[in-house]
Amino acid sequence: MASNPNKRVAFITLGCKLNFSESSTIAREFEENGYRRVPPSSIAEVYVINTCSVTEHADKKCRQAIRKLISQSPNAKVVVTGCYAQLNPNELAAIEGVNIVVGASEKGNIFHLLNSNNSGNTDIYSCNIETVETIFPAYSSADRTRSFLKVQDGCNYHCSYCTIPLARGKSRNLPIAQIVSEAMAIATRGVKEIILTGVNIGDFGQTTSETFLNLIQELEIVDGIERYRISSIEPNLLTSEIIGHVAQSSKFLPHFHIPLQSGSNNILKAMRRRYTREQFAAKILEIKSAIPEAFIGIDVIVGFPGESIADFMDSYNLLEMLNVSFLHIFPYSVRPNTPAELMPERVSSTEISRRTHLLQNLSDKLHRQFYQDNLGRAVNVLFEARRKGDQMLGYTENYILVEAPFIKNMANTIVPAKLIGTTNIGTATIEITRP
Tell me the residue range of the domain where 385 lies.
378-432
Looking at the fold, whether 386 and 285 belong to one and the same domain comes out as no
Asked if residue 137 is part of any domain, the answer here is no
Looking at the fold, whether 365 and 382 belong to one and the same domain comes out as no
Looking at the fold, whether 193 and 334 belong to one and the same domain comes out as yes
Looking at the fold, whether 363 and 401 belong to one and the same domain comes out as no
Q: What are phi and psi of 189, to 5 degrees?
A: -85, 0
Question: Residue 74, class by beta-carbon neighbours within 10 Å (0-12 exposed, 13-18 middle, 19+ buried)?
Answer: exposed
CA distances from 262 to 30, 182, 236, 239, 352 (A): 42, 36, 14, 20, 14
User: With contact defined as beta carbons under 8 Å apart, do 358 and 316 qualify?
Assistant: yes
Looking at the fold, whether 262 and 220 belong to one and the same domain comes out as yes
Residue-wise pLDDT for 30-76, tens only, equals 999 999 999 999 999 999 999 998 888 889 999 999 999 999 999 99
Asked if residue 72 is part of any domain, the answer here is yes
% of the chain beyond a pLDDT of 90 = 84
Asked if residue 415 is part of any domain, the answer here is yes
The CATH number given to whatever domain includes residue 40 is 3.40.50.12160
Looking at the fold, whether 329 and 399 belong to one and the same domain comes out as no
Looking at the fold, whether 82 and 116 belong to one and the same domain comes out as yes
Looking at the fold, whether 367 and 400 belong to one and the same domain comes out as no
Last residue of a domain, one of 127, 162, 191: 127
Asked if residue 388 is part of any domain, the answer here is yes
Looking at the fold, whether 72 and 96 belong to one and the same domain comes out as yes
Asked if residue 139 is part of any domain, the answer here is no
Last residue of a domain, one of 351, 371, 391: 371
Q: What is the pLDDT along the chain (435 residues), one digit of tens a residue?
A: 444 567 999 999 998 899 999 999 999 999 999 999 999 999 999 999 999 988 888 899 999 999 999 999 999 999 999 999 999 999 999 999 999 999 888 899 999 998 887 767 788 888 778 778 889 999 998 777 899 999 999 999 999 999 999 999 999 999 999 999 999 999 999 999 999 999 999 999 999 999 999 999 999 999 999 999 999 999 999 999 999 999 999 999 999 999 999 999 999 999 999 999 999 999 999 999 999 999 999 999 999 999 999 999 999 999 999 999 999 999 999 999 999 999 989 999 999 999 999 999 999 999 999 999 999 999 999 999 777 788 999 999 999 999 999 988 899 999 999 999 999 889 999 999 975
Residue 255 CA from chain centroid, whole number: 14
Asked if residue 135 is part of any domain, the answer here is no
Give me the amino acid identity at 178: Q
Whole-angstrom distance, CA of residue 187 vs CA of residue 108: 22
Looking at the fold, whether 155 and 282 belong to one and the same domain comes out as yes
Looking at the fold, whether 367 and 382 belong to one and the same domain comes out as no
Domain count, the chain: 3
Predicted pLDDT at 4: 56
Asked if residue 132 is part of any domain, the answer here is no
The CATH number given to whatever domain includes residue 427 is 2.40.50
Asked if residue 339 is part of any domain, the answer here is yes
The CATH number given to whatever domain includes residue 248 is 3.80.30.20
Looking at the fold, whether 59 and 180 belong to one and the same domain comes out as no
- Average pLDDT of the chain? 93
